């Protein structure tokens, strides 16, 4: 499998700022060729690499006032092996978090999924979320968590991932949120999915069913959207003006939603 991904961001920096960008493909064992070009008003600017959990690679940028442009491209050859869930992760990702309030959804999880285990639980949660939410762009706020999404019955990929993760954690299964490049996604954008640990292996859960899971490319991994945002303003002030994302694969695979798979 050969995948090509790109991201272009234009940012208006109105006061000197420090940004943390999460657009680079996560660290891989091999098969990755990439370029990152950062410019302020056309002049090249340095970006410093910060290594985060699960291979996430952030780029810190200190910038003066002006128009900041970020261009990233990568070619990914092959797929990574399944990632195992460590004991530390098993504890961390079963706890409630800012956008995945699993403690508030415990009763819902028991009522809807009590008795289900293993991949049957993953399939049950994915199907339940996918049929109860309407995918509606601009229907949610950046501060919405899983509970608000369930009450609103609408959201975007981030909201679907948060609700899946919260329900799985409430069922005793470690679950986390991953930002990805998604070949086959329409309209094209950054995408967010859930991962859950079954029999010690992280399996991908995407209740939106908008892109084949085996074609997804990992960017950032964490507790929820707070850990996987593509842009974080650490200090100063900066506004996103424009963003274009592309992701293609040599052969777009079919996706059997009844079968377990992993991000590769």
Taking every pair of C-alpha atoms in the chain, what is the biggest distance, in angstroms? 59
Q: Token pair for residue 260?
A: 């377990």
pLDDT of residue 258: 81
Helix (H) / strand (E) element for 161: namely: helix 157-170
pLDDT digits (tens, 9 = 90+) for 229-252: 999 999 999 999 999 999 999 999
Q: Report the alpha-carbon distance of residue 6 to residue 101 in Å, rounded.
A: 33
Q: Token pair for residue 214?
A: 């085996």
pLDDT digits (tens, 9 = 90+) for 83-98: 999 999 999 999 999 9
pLDDT of residue 246: 98
Question: What is the residue-averaged pLDDT of the chain?
Answer: 96
Assess whether pLDDT exceeds 90 at residue 76.
yes
| pTM, to two decimals | 0.96
pLDDT of residue 259: 86
CA-based nearest residue to 225, from 152, 148, 113, 110:
148
Overall average pLDDT of the 180-185 stretch: 97
CA-based nearest residue to 159, from 181, 182, 175, 136:
136
Contacts of 64 (CB under 8 A, 6+ apart): 13, 16, 40
For 12, 121, 185, 227, the CA distances from 236, given in Å and listed in that order, are 11, 44, 33, 20
* Confidence band for 159, pLDDT divided at 50, 70 and 90: very high
Assess whether pLDDT exceeds 90 at residue 257.
no
pLDDT digits (tens, 9 = 90+) for 126-151: 999 999 999 999 899 999 999 999 99
All structural domains of the chain, each given as residue ranges with its CATH number in brackets, are 2-79+230-248 (2.60.40.2250), 87-228 (3.10.620.30)
Report the percent of the chain where pLDDT is more than 70.
100
């Amino acid at each position: 499998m050969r995948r090509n991904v790109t991201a272009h961001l234009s940012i208006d920096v109105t006061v000197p700022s420090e940004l943390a960008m999460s657009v680079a493909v996560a660290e891989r064992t091999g098969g990755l060729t990439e370029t990152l070009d950062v410019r302020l008003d056309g002049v090249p600017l340095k970006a410093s690499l910060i290594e985060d959990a699960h291979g996430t690679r952030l780029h810190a940028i200190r910038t003066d006032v002006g128009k900041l442009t970020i261009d990233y491209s990568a070619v990914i050859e092959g797929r990574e092996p399944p990632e195992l869930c460590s004991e530390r992760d098993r504890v961390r990702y079963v706890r409630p978090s800012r956008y995945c309030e699993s403690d508030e959804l415990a009763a819902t999880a028991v009522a809807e999924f009590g008795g289900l285990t293993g991949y049957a639980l993953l399939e049950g949660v994915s199907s339940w979320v996918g049929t109860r939410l309407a995918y509606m762009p601009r229907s949610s706020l950046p501060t919405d968590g899983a509970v608000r999404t369930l009450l609103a019955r609408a959201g975007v990929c981030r909201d679907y991932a948060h609700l899946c993760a919260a329900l799985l954690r409430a069922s005793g299964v470690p679950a986390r949120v991953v930002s990805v490049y998604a070949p086959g996604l329409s309209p094209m954008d950054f995408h967010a999915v859930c991962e859950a640990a079954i029999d010690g292996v992280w399996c991908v859960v995407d209740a939106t069913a908008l892109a084949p899971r085996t074609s997804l490319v990992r960017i950032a991994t964490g507790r929820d959207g707070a850990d996987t945002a593509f842009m974080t303003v650490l200090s100063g002030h900066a506004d996103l003006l424009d963003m274009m994302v592309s992701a293609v694969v040599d052969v777009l695979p079919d996706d059997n939603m009844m079968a377990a798979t992993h991000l590769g």
